[in-house]
Structure 1
Amino acid sequence: MNRKTLVLPAVVSLLAPALAACAGSGGGGGGGAAIAVGTTDRFIATKDAPAPLDPAYAYDVGSWNVLRQTVQTLMVQPRGEGAPVPEAAESCGFTDSGNERYACKLRPDLKFSNGDDVTAADVKFSIDRALAIKADSGVFALLSTVDTVETKGDEEVIFHLRTADATFPYKLSTPVAGIVNPDNYEKDKLRDGFQVDGSGPYTLKAEEKDGELVRSVFTKNPHYQGALKVNNEEIDMVSYDDADAMGAALDEGDIDVMTRTMTPEQINKLATADSDVDLVEMPGLEIRYLAFNTDAPRVKSKAVRQAMAQIVNRDELVSAVYGSQAEPLYSLVPASITGHSNAFFNKYGDPSVAKAKAMLEDAGVATPVKLTLHYTTDHYGAATKKEFEELRAQLNGSGLFEVGIEGAPWDTFVPAERNGEYDVFGMGWFPDFPDADSYVAPFLDKDNFLKSPYANSEIRNTLIPDSRREADRLAASDSLNRIQDIVAEDVPVLPLWQGKQYVAAHSDVTGVAYALNSSATLQLWELGRGVSD
């Protein structure tokens, strides 16, 4: 067939009315053999992280993508983006004018995959459990505005919030708010290993080897009742060590679909090749950034962090490593999200070694400043090493820094970062939901997932609460812009770039354009067998 690259529009929210999720559990069935999906996401159970798929612990995009197939939430992001819609719930909404009381009524006849009824008490158990366990991943902070959970009968759940939170419906669409069966999950202990039991569109059969999940078989859940239309009977998701191995599997027909994370070289090749593989380009809300342990002696001085912000050339970084597949980013909040501002460009302008030198001299910082930049070797794609080589070259080329780089696998990298062992480290972020709050609170609020010692009282006590009071997110822009300006001044994190997303699939697979949403959520229920255009 002719080579086909589909580019989805950036303003996907405009499609929401026409593409909203279809009610009902059924549909499509799809027929045919299981659809094989490749990923480079890795799932490893270790001594430090023995429960990678427990909703009360999981807080990375790969684990969430397993949970979203299996564990049902009260709300869900609709197919065409936009505000969340009821999923396990029949209806949800604020019942007061101050956005502090949120009530949901469950769909009738909800059942877990084993046939047990899902009740309001199970919802309360699940939320209370995540808050009580308070896992060191920090995911519980998404529910930090919950004061108490009340039930009325078997079908009504009422959330009483500590403070106004207009983003709460979005938070109820995230896996930490997933409904779990008390028979399978202890109230005060995480569930180790790779077993997941829920009421979502699929059941999971986990195949593991040496403490790693290597294959996830998702089978359509016959008891599922919800808003999603499931277009296939089974998905076979295989984890590969690297993008090259995943690409070879696609070429050989061992998999039907290739998801995250492809290399820039693979994307360029697929975009120009004439084959039976279609490449779909989608707008993305993924960001990459450097994070600082602001208590570490080498970067404790704000001038050191500001000098790095003044030197780093994002245009050259993106051009050298990612080409047209990414764009420079000048704020924690990416472009296309309401409330975004180019705070770092507004403060620092174009890269300037002279300005950076003056900053360090004024602060009495001796040069060259010696630093190690840490990155993960197996979580964000093969281009990460090249990205850090470019950062090292830029900083060392200034003569003001003497920088080394050091990579580590994800299962080593994360515990070290959380234990404060790294002064400077690179991370990626996929939003919990498509709102500026998801780029602000997880980094800057109390119990932030980075375990950052940086704390700004104006941000935590005034600006974040003020922004959450605004149901009209445009009205929250003043608070959000002020937060971004403070971040550009203090530089607890240094935003680098915002990326696009890609999925490649053989032409007999349908629904590929909706298999991955802007928040990098896999929607495997969208895939089916048929003839694409």
Structure 2
Amino acid sequence: MKRKTLVLPAVVGLLTPLLAACGGSDGGGASGEAIIVGTTDQYTATKQEPAPLDPAYTYDTSAWNLLRQTIQTLMTQPKGEGTPVPEAAQSCSFTDKGDEQYACVLRDGLKFANGDEITAADVKYSIERSLRIDADTGVSSLLNTIETIETQGDRRVIFHLKSADATFPYKLSTPVAGVVNPKDYAKSKLRDGFQVDGSGPYTFRAQVNHGTITAVTYSRNPLYKGSLKVNNEKVELRVFKDAGSMASAIDKGDIDVMTRTMTPNQIQKLARGDDDSVELVEMSGLEIRYLAFNTDAPTVRSKAVRQAMAQVINRDALVNEVYGSQAEPLYSLVPASVVGHSNSFFNKYGDPSVAKAKSLLASAGVSAPVKLTLHYTTDHYGSATKREFEVLQKQLNDSGLFDANIQGHAWAAFRPAEQKGRYDVWGMGWFPDFPDADNFLAPFLDKNNFLGSPYSNAAIQKKLIPDSRREADRLAAAASLTLIQDDVAEDVPVMPLWQGKQYIAARNDITGTSYALNSSSVLCLWELGRGVSE
């Protein structure tokens, strides 16, 4: 077993793109033989969520990674990080000094995979559709700085923004801003089921059993025009029920690549290098885990309860016991490698202290032990999640200040329940839409936020977030970003826990694995090829 570590730049947001977006590879070339990729991510259509793959609806990294292979966006995140580069667009730029008008010119000859030509009107239709549908997942909030969209001829699109938004190019790289065919996607109605059509590097065909995807076949789209270099003819994504069965498949040679989610024990075993036929690739990542709170719920309505939890929880012990070297303690919603990060929770609470937590509760007149139920999902972030919540439960209960229980739920039930406010405290993960501090703050704290949280901070929403977005130089936004993080540490509407690394395992004839995931956990299947791995 070889273990290869890709060292990406330590500071996200200060980089100049030197390479085409996710283009190039470690070697190898296109081959007619499908590359088989395994995942434990589950994709299910239910009565509550009948349209899990509509770009106007889904706001989940695993579903987005299905879409990104087929739904083309105006911009895309570049290989090796950096600011977004044109994809369906030939060029894009702000056209005014106030960063309130953003114009894109489409590539000449763009077509959907069915041969229909793509015009500026299709781009306008697609993005206005996402805004019009305004799905309860909160995904349209990524586009909420758009006031109007103008077209000039067949190839020029102009976005008029409500206020300055230096992060807008990043937002145009997300699937909610993807270009869809009006023939396939109704103007005001979501597209139910598992059909996906677009103009990206691959066409999409799903195998479905009882409302759940079992496999997806991606075939190279011969009409694709964009910035991505496609290194294979076909990729099959196979869905496994658990990490154990996925690992068994790669051991037997039934699959070529293993993606998320592997268990900590599996990663440790692969890292030891017992099998020379499989290679483990470790990459820096921006995944975070956190606890979310329904700040209107009686059990945690008092800020003192949430602060006491922040004072008691020992992140170092949690990470060491559950994830080892595969994660790091996190003291802000913004990961340590992102420009604008501040250790606000550590600055406020310092090392864990039961005595300080007891004082917080007593000062607020809250009687201990406080009864709580911590909810988590059993099948979305990996099997280690259960162990993580067992450790959190023990830390809280050992303090004598809490009487905590834990409950696990399948993702298909968990996500709708937390959106409807049925949980007081629950655990979530966040894979960023784009690698900027704004995307670790606004989705949780702005109006119509991703969590459906009742927490509202006027200073954050009306001043600090807008102020930070006016700064094209993200270092200059640090002052506003730090104040936001300090407010979060004070009010604790969410509580960061840890920041993770990410891994891919592949058989040693597969190339391109070093760039098959970027720091935002975007799966770049076009990078994979067959040949001799480095």
* TM-score, with structure 1 as normaliser: 0.98
Corresponding residue number in structure 2 for 1:52: 52
Match of 1:81 in 2: 81
> Which residue pairs with 1:256 in the alignment?
256
Q: How far apart in 1 are the matches of 2:159 and 2:18?
A: 30
For residues 51-85 of structure 1, the C-alpha deviation after alignment (integer angstroms, 9 at most, x for no partner) is 00000001001100011000000000011110000
Q: In the alignment, is the contact (CA less than 8 A) between 2:22 and 2:527 conserved in 1?
A: no
CA contact (8 A) 1:28 1:230 kept: no
CA contact (8 A) 1:28 1:232 kept: no
Match of 2:274 in 1: 274
Query: What corresponds to 2:129 in structure 1?
Result: 129
1:417 matched to which residue of 2? 418
**What pairs with 1:56-71 in structure 2 (closer than 5 Å)?**
56-71=56-71
Amino acid at match of 2:265: E
Aligned match of 1:187:
187
Counterpart of 1:528?
529
2:3 paired residue number: 4
Q: Deviations over 1:144-190 (max 9, x none)?
A: 00000000010000000001000000000000000000000000000
Asked if 1:213 is matched to 2:213, the reply is yes
- In 1, Cα distance between equivalents of 2:22 and 2:517: 17
Partner in structure 1 of residue 226 of structure 2: 226
Q: Give the equivalent residue in structure 2 for 1:102.
A: 102
Alignment partner, residue 359 of structure 1? 360
How far apart are 1:532 and its partner, in Å? 1.2
Q: Residue 428 of structure 2: SS of its match in structure 1?
A: strand
Residue 28 of structure 1, CA deviation: 7.5
Is contact 2:17-2:78 (8 Å) kept? no
Taking the TM superposition and a 5 Å limit, the aligned residue runs for 1:502-513 are 502-513=503-514
**Equivalent residue runs for 1:358-377 within 5 Å:** 358-377=359-378
Distance in 1 separating the partners of 2:138 and 2:3: 41
Deviation at 1:19, TM superposition (A): 3.1
* 1:121 maps to amino acid: A
Corresponding residue for residue 478 of structure 2:
477
Matched residue of 2:284: which SS? strand
State the percentage of identical aligned residues: 68
- Residue pair 1:16, 1:79 contacting (<8 A) in 2 also: no
Instruction: Tell me if the contact between 2:120 and 2:153 (Cα under 8 Å) persists in the aligned partners.
Output: yes
Alignment of 1:304 onto 2:305: yes
**Aligned equivalents of 2:10, 2:348: Cα separation in 1:** 28
User: Cα distance 1:185–1:29, how it changes in 2: closer, same or farther (>3 A)?
Assistant: farther
Question: Which residue identity does 2:2 align to in structure 1?
Answer: R
User: Secondary structure of the equivalent of 2:285?
Assistant: strand
Aligned partner letter, 1:229: K
Contact 1:28 / 1:229 at 8 angstroms: preserved in 2?
no
- Give the distance between the partners of 1:307 and 1:83, measured in 2 at CA: 39
Once residues 349 and 22 of structure 2 are traced to their aligned partners in structure 1, the CA distance between those partners, rounded to angstroms, is: 47
Contact 2:29 2:530 in 1 (8 A): no
CA distance, structure 2, for counterparts of residue 447 and residue 361 of structure 1: 34
Q: Secondary structure at the match of 1:229?
A: coil
- How far apart in 1 are the matches of 2:320 and 2:9? 21
Instruction: Tell me the secondary structure at the aligned position of residue 43 of structure 1.
Output: coil
Quick check: 2:294–2:453 contact (8 Å CA) kept in 1? yes
1:174 maps to a residue whose letter is T
Paired with 1:7 and 1:463, the residues of 2 have a C-alpha distance of 35
Q: What RMSD in Å do the two structures reach over aligned CA positions?
A: 1.4
Q: What's the CA shift for 1:471?
A: 0.3
CA shift for structure 1 position 29: 5.4
Look up the SS of the partner of 2:521 in the other structure: coil
Deviation at 1:405, TM superposition (A): 0.2
Whether 1:144 aligns to 2:152 is no
8 Å contact kept, 1:20–1:80: no
Deviates more, 1:8-17 or 1:467-476: 8-17
TM-score, normalised to structure 2's length?
0.98
- Tell me: CA distance 1:330–1:427, structure 2 relative to 1, closer, same or farther (3 Å): same
Partners of 2:53 and 2:178 lie apart in 1 by 12
Matched with 1:169 is 169
Equivalent residues of 2:445, 2:456 under 8 A apart:
yes
1:382 and 2:383 matched: yes
Question: What does 1:449-528 correspond to in 2, within 5 Å?
Answer: 449-528=450-529
1:326 is matched with which residue? 327
Q: Report if aligned partners of 1:145, 1:161 keep a CA contact under 8 Å in 2.
A: yes
Task: Pick closer, same or farther for the CA change 1:462–1:22 going to 2, 3 Å.
Answer: closer
1:340 aligns with 2:351: no
Rounded Cα–Cα distance in structure 2 between residues aligned with 1:91 and 1:3: 40
- For structure 1, the 5+ residue unaligned runs are none
**Residue 6 of structure 1, CA deviation:** 2.7
User: Does structure 1 retain, via aligned residues, the 8 Å contact 2:11–2:339?
Assistant: no
Instruction: Give the count of matched residue pairs.
Output: 530
Aligned partner letter, 1:66? L
Give the residue type in structure 2 aligned to 1:316.
Answer: A
Matched residue, 2:288: 287
Q: Is the 8 Å Cα contact of residues 22 and 77 (structure 2) preserved in structure 1? A: no
CA contact (8 A) 1:102 1:158 kept: yes
Shift of 1:31: 1.1
